Structure 1
Amino acid sequence: MARAFLDDNFLLRSKTAERLFHEVAAIQPIIDYHTHLPPEEVAENKRWDNISSLWLGEDHYKWRAMRANGIPESHITGDASPREKFEAWARTIPFTVGNPLFHWTHLELRRCFGISTLLNPDTAEEIWNEANERLQDDNFCAQGLLQKFNVDTVGTTDDPSDSLSHHEACASLGITTKVYPTFRPDKAFMVDRPHILNPFCKALGEQCDIEIKSLDQLIQALRRRHDDFHAAGCRLSDHGMPYCPIQPCQEEEASQIFQRALTGCAATSSETDGFSYYLMQQLGRWNNERDWTMQLHLAPVRNPNTRFFEKIGPDSGFDTIGDWPQGERLLQFLDGLHQRDSLPKTILYNLNPRDNALFASACGSFQEGPTPSRIQWGSAWWYNDTLKGMTDHLQTLASIGLLSRFVGMLTDSRSFLSYPRHEYFRRLLCNLIAEDVENGEIPDDQDFLDSLIRNICYENARSYLALPHHV
């Protein structure tokens, strides 16, 4: 007899899995240390007029699926009404079977809105009305959702030129969820794109009351913002790159590259690699001095669709997986920092799943006490954030590294409705561990198993990241 869809024991295929999830994993707080949630929406305790603005407004996963289903752009990012966009998503969702969006969508309806009806064109009006009615509840707001899902920590993603006033406001609210910035200086590396670099330097200079006209002034401004972020509770940096930079570059050469970029002269690929290497050496040293964690997100291809990039802009659902070789560059980059005693705690994320074993094994080449698993292979990211992708990740990590020391799941999301994804991961994790128990490959020792699950879901991240409210 077929099991009910999304029942209480969804993804849990044994009594051991059920106990581990319901009694251990489900009750752990969430440390969502890498998100794209807007801090101003937490500070202002944002509310939403309708489910479309909350659910579809910034979700490029859904946008991508809608395009694949033949939905016109007017009903995705265009000027169709919120109701029309919701109905377009309702027409799409039945075709997402096998894609995590099918599970995520219905988990979010159940956990966030209390709606168990399957979304499709026939039920769209009923769900639209019921969800919008729920949005009127007093606790259906940004802070209320964080509290509902027991979110201990949110790490936002922030440019060094961004104001930290919203984080300061969050800190003054006295809410149980701590909201910390993450230092993401990607635009500082864009000497090959002066049209992005120069406005960034102007904005960064305004934050620091410095007119940036030289490399020394850029470094001074970045260091000052690093100080400011640290004071605001930041303990992580984040860097998105096709691959790690390894071209040696001394200060004089980096200065010349930067000066040319300030005049509008774009750097070559080799010059950009060298300049990026120079900057990352500085940032790695600062992070290491302050016991920050450096995150490296490697191998996305950004904006491959020129026509839609020019029409809609970045982060609109067109980015994809890159196929650059990663191994040699990654090892040289980590070794360069390690030779200078400047390699901080690091979390590596690969977008191309072919690199799973490579990344898992590369971490082991630079482990060093006293921090357990100082170099982490991060959570299955983006196109790997699926049942298969997470299973492959966990099994590869267990085979090559130390699964027991893994810092766990994150949403990497722009939506306050994404927290059921932690439940999704935890159910999968408990089932995988339980399968090994049932097969006699892991001892059936309750204390041992409970500690393993508790650590992966919460305690490892708490200990590893050493966030201000945890130390």
Structure 2
Amino acid sequence: MSSNKTFINDNFLLENKYAEELYHNYSKNQPIIDYHNHLNPQFIAEDKIFDNITQVWINGDHYKWRAMRTLGINEQFVTGNGSDKDKFLNWGKTVPYTMRNPLYHWTHLELARYFDIYDLLDEKSAEKIYIETSEKIKSEAYSTQNLLKKVNAELVCTTEDPIDTLEFHQKLTKNPMGTKMSTAFRPDKAILISNDGYNAYVDTLGDVAGIAINTYADLRDALRKRIEFFAQNGCKLSDHGLDQIYFENFTESEINSIFKKKRDNQTITPEEALKFQSAILLFLSETYHEFGWVQQFHLGALRNNNARMHSILGPDTGWDSIGDYPQAQKLSSFLNALDSKDKLTKTIIYNLNPADNEVMATMIGNFNDGSVRGKVQLGSGWWFLDQKDGMTKQLNALSNMGLISCFVGMLTDSRSFLSFPRHEYFRRILCNLLGDEIQRGELPADMQWIGKLVSDISYNNAKEYFKF
């Protein structure tokens, strides 16, 4: 069995003394505000204890699933009915083949940080590591709250649909533990009028809001009631996962007619769908501004590409990729429409296509109007880009065309309670980027000032921006 103590060491990814000083003195010990993830709030509120590492580490992780499938692992041992142990052993078999994929770094960082295991995970070591980790994870010391405590997570922000009861957020508020939990309002199902099951969803939304939704005005009233409910339960953010921002010219009568057609189960044309989606998105964004929320837009994913596997396993199971949508014109028009009414709230735009980094980095500068520090943000490297190269390119685009000093930093965007070393990964990459430029003489060796910049990006900027 190989050891990685010379691999995942104190100065992992830190290439010189300046990078080391920045990380260890200014970033490493900063708390984590994970302002966007898909963790299960019930598990947090009830301080769940898992039976084994597979349940917390492999189940739900489509990053790992894609890698296993690529290696030829049968779906039985990926998402199928294989035992938890067999799934882990097959993941262990896969890990050596993930070199140069971020999964290789994440895997060994997570084993080290949560379990103090510095052996390289491979086919030979997998069974021993499965036994050791599963013995630990069944103990109270590895409950969800204690897993969050191990990485100094101050607050986590989960993502919920407008119809959610927020019962587990309420439960944790009444019985606080260590890490605090908030939520983000995710109303995509109310926006995407062409989706299958849209009318059934609207019926449910109406039931939850206590409003019979027959007209577009009813839909807006129901969504507003749910925004009020979320705000009463401490929500300060919204989130949208869209291929691109919608912005088409429309009239109120057009939107009323389109919504009526849909409620009457008539076919909506693509043009009508775009007009409706534009209208409801503008309404929501103006409402977020009224409530003082931060709005987040995750743009650029091409989802559910494999129709056969999507029909078997459903969404979010590893069949998505980067899309090449046009982004600039509609995004500009959308932000401008809000800004022209002075109703543009704090906004984070996450870009999935690296070809659009500079587009997005320059777009945010158009709407930073001096009213709020870093009002419009280029979000951190997301999904396929939350790896060393992707994060570096995002940091470079933001630095070259904006102010990296105002950046609110990293998030996990994950369903796994073991994914928080991604914050460490990001912080090491950030510190090494700056340390390298100090060494080359491109930045002054003003460690106090650059250290403050690092501390701000690691924690302080998010603390101030979101005001949790």
Shorter-chain TM-score range: over 0.9
Structure-1 separation of matches of 2:115 and 2:423: 17
2:24: which partner in 1?
22
Please report how far the alpha carbon of residue 166 of structure 1 lies from its aligned counterpart in structure 2 after TM superposition. Answer: 0.8
Counterpart code for 1:214: T
Please report how far the alpha carbon of residue 271 of structure 1 lies from its aligned counterpart in structure 2 after TM superposition. Answer: 1.1
Please report how far the alpha carbon of residue 340 of structure 1 lies from its aligned counterpart in structure 2 after TM superposition. Answer: 2.0
1:318: which partner in 2?
319
CA distances 1:344-370 after superposition (whole Å, capped 9, x unpaired): 111001111000000000001111122
Structure-2 separation of matches of 1:266 and 1:305: 25
1:362: which partner in 2?
363
Structure-2 separation of matches of 1:175 and 1:254: 46
CA distances 1:135-180 after superposition (whole Å, capped 9, x unpaired): 1332201111111111111111110011111110111222232211
Structure-2 separation of matches of 1:164 and 1:307: 34
Q: Contact (CA 8 Å) 2:145, 2:178: kept in 1 or not? A: no
Structure-2 separation of matches of 1:165 and 1:3: 43
* 3-state SS in 2 of match to 1:404: helix
Q: Contact (CA 8 Å) 2:36, 2:412: kept in 1 or not? A: yes
| Equivalence map 1:57-206=2 (5 Å) | 57-193=59-195, 195-206=196-207
Using the size of structure 2 for normalisation, the TM-score is 0.97
CA distances 1:12-50 after superposition (whole Å, capped 9, x unpaired): 111111111112101101010000001111011111111
Q: Contact (CA 8 Å) 1:187, 1:196: kept in 2 or not? A: no
1:252: which partner in 2?
253
Structure-2 separation of matches of 1:207 and 1:439: 59
Name the stretch that deviates more: 401-410 or 328-337.
328-337
Structure-2 separation of matches of 1:449 and 1:440: 14
Please report how far the alpha carbon of residue 190 of structure 1 lies from its aligned counterpart in structure 2 after TM superposition. Answer: 2.1
CA distances 1:48-90 after superposition (whole Å, capped 9, x unpaired): 1111111111101001111111111111111111111111111
Structure-2 separation of matches of 1:139 and 1:4: 27
Structure-2 separation of matches of 1:124 and 1:435: 36
Counterpart code for 2:235: C
Structure-1 separation of matches of 2:457 and 2:217: 42
Name the stretch that deviates more: 316-325 or 131-140.
131-140
Please report how far the alpha carbon of residue 3 of structure 1 lies from its aligned counterpart in structure 2 after TM superposition. Answer: 9.2
Counterpart code for 1:437: I
Q: Contact (CA 8 Å) 1:345, 1:374: kept in 2 or not? A: yes
| Equivalence map 1:382-393=2 (5 Å) | 382-393=383-394
2:285: which partner in 1?
284
Structure-1 separation of matches of 2:251 and 2:150: 51
2:419 matches 1:418: yes
Structure-1 separation of matches of 2:456 and 2:340: 31
* 3-state SS in 2 of match to 1:346: strand
Q: Contact (CA 8 Å) 1:243, 1:326: kept in 2 or not? A: yes
Counterpart code for 1:90: G
1:233: which partner in 2?
234
Q: Contact (CA 8 Å) 1:37, 1:413: kept in 2 or not? A: yes
| Equivalence map 1:286-305=2 (5 Å) | 286-305=287-306
* 3-state SS in 2 of match to 1:58: coil
Q: Which runs of 4+ in 1 moved over 6 A?
A: none
Counterpart code for 1:241: L
Please report how far the alpha carbon of residue 465 of structure 1 lies from its aligned counterpart in structure 2 after TM superposition. Answer: 1.3
Counterpart code for 1:378: G
2:45: which partner in 1?
43
* 3-state SS in 2 of match to 1:270: helix
2:11: which partner in 1?
9
1:242: which partner in 2?
243
CA distances 1:177-221 after superposition (whole Å, capped 9, x unpaired): 22111011000012112x321222122122112222221111111
The number of residues matched between the two structures is 465
* 3-state SS in 2 of match to 1:408: coil
Q: Structure 1's 162 and 37: CA in aligned 2 closer, same or farther, altered over 3 A?
A: same
Please report how far the alpha carbon of residue 440 of structure 1 lies from its aligned counterpart in structure 2 after TM superposition. Answer: 1.8
Structure-1 separation of matches of 2:347 and 2:446: 32
| Equivalence map 1:325-404=2 (5 Å) | 325-404=326-405
Counterpart code for 1:234: C
* 3-state SS in 2 of match to 1:139: helix
CA distances 1:207-260 after superposition (whole Å, capped 9, x unpaired): 112222221111111000100111111111111111111111222211211122
Q: Contact (CA 8 Å) 2:49, 2:140: kept in 1 or not? A: no
CA distances 1:98-156 after superposition (whole Å, capped 9, x unpaired): 00000001111111111111111111110011011111332201111111111111111
* 3-state SS in 2 of match to 1:154: strand
- 5+ residue gaps, structure 1, are none
Structure-2 separation of matches of 1:252 and 1:462: 43
The Cα RMSD (Å) is 1.3
Please report how far the alpha carbon of residue 337 of structure 1 lies from its aligned counterpart in structure 2 after TM superposition. Answer: 1.3
* 3-state SS in 2 of match to 1:182: strand
Q: Contact (CA 8 Å) 2:244, 2:300: kept in 1 or not? A: yes
Q: Contact (CA 8 Å) 1:189, 1:272: kept in 2 or not? A: no
Using the size of structure 1 for normalisation, the TM-score is 0.97
Name the stretch that deviates more: 172-181 or 121-130.
172-181
Please report how far the alpha carbon of residue 265 of structure 1 lies from its aligned counterpart in structure 2 after TM superposition. Answer: 2.7
Counterpart code for 2:372: T
Structure-2 separation of matches of 1:266 and 1:436: 57
Name the stretch that deviates more: 255-264 or 12-21.
255-264
Counterpart code for 2:269: T
